[in-house]
Amino acid sequence: MEELTGGETWRVFRIMSEFVEGFEGLKDIGPAISVFGSARTRKDDWSYKCTMKVADGLARRGFAVISGGGPGIMEAANRGARLAKGVSIGLNIQLPAEQRPNRYQDISMVFRHFFVRKVMFVKYASGYVIMPGGFGTLDEFFESLTLIQTGKTRRFPIVLMGRKYWEGLLHWMEHMMLGEGTISPEDLNLFFLTDEPEEAVDYIVKFHRESILPVGERRKRSPLPERKPPLSRDRKGGSPE
């Protein structure tokens, strides 16, 4: 019935208006880092506390922090940025089970369409921090790798936080995807794995510092250091529980 009454045509205009609102609302935020992770994370979890430290460090280095606006890791990201007196942004989504925006957002936007929201995450991001999370987090992680791998977006730093959480996936990527030739060895250098908030922040800052060097200097000092295969690294530590 909606098609017969022109509903699909008007839907295009609603989508356009959502893009316009997003572009207008975020155009002046400056350099920002998008943080992804599970909405189910509790305040006493390692990943919640780690996210707050990462967001705090990024805010103190001049980055705005963008999250999905909800609870869990999203709340931790906004909370860490707010406590550091940085710019804290939440890109909320309308869901059948209503997502309640967390209270640590300076800029809070609500999107109806996932794909519009995803454009905002990548368009205004100078980097991604990927915390432990579920399907949505994996979606953002692999989409960012795909966009960079295919040259559809500029190269930006991607940090995976939590060796223990991501080890199995990285083992599969290294031994199955690379082994079968479905990715190239250099694709495994598109992201950086760490447990340490300070390392995550330093990696992002160094990436951008290196990227603005003169062309000749950039050739001498690559902004993406060679990364050992994930399972060949020292296994000490792991994500604290």
Please, which pLDDT band fits residue 226 given cuts at 50, 70 and 90? very low
DSSP 8-state code for residue 99:
P
The pLDDT value recorded for residue 52 is: 98
pTM of the complete model: 0.84
Please, which pLDDT band fits residue 10 given cuts at 50, 70 and 90? confident
pLDDT digits (tens, 9 = 90+) for 162-206: 999 999 999 999 999 999 999 999 999 999 999 999 999 999 999
The pLDDT value recorded for residue 230 is: 52
DSSP 8-state code for residue 179:
T
Q: The tokens 């999905």 sit on which residue?
A: 68
Report percent pLDDT > 90 for the chain. 77
- Tell me phi and psi for residue 91, to 5 degrees: -105, 90
Give 221-226's long-range contacts (Cβ < 8 A, gap of 24+): 223/155, 224/155, 224/157, 224/189, 224/190, 226/189
pLDDT digits (tens, 9 = 90+) for 16-51: 999 999 999 999 999 999 999 999 999 999 999 999
Query: 140 with 171: CB under 8 angstroms?
Result: no
Q: What is the mean pLDDT of residues 91-116?
A: 90
How far is 125 from 122, CA to CA, in rounded Å?
Answer: 5
Residue 74 in this model has a pLDDT that exceeds 80: yes
Q: Which of 125, 118, 71 is nearest to 99 (CA)?
A: 71
- The packing angle between helices 114-123 and 135-149, to 10°, is 50
Mean pLDDT of the residues in the chain: 88
Mind listing the domains of the chain with CATH numbers? 7-213 (3.40.50.450)
DSSP 8-state code for residue 186:
G
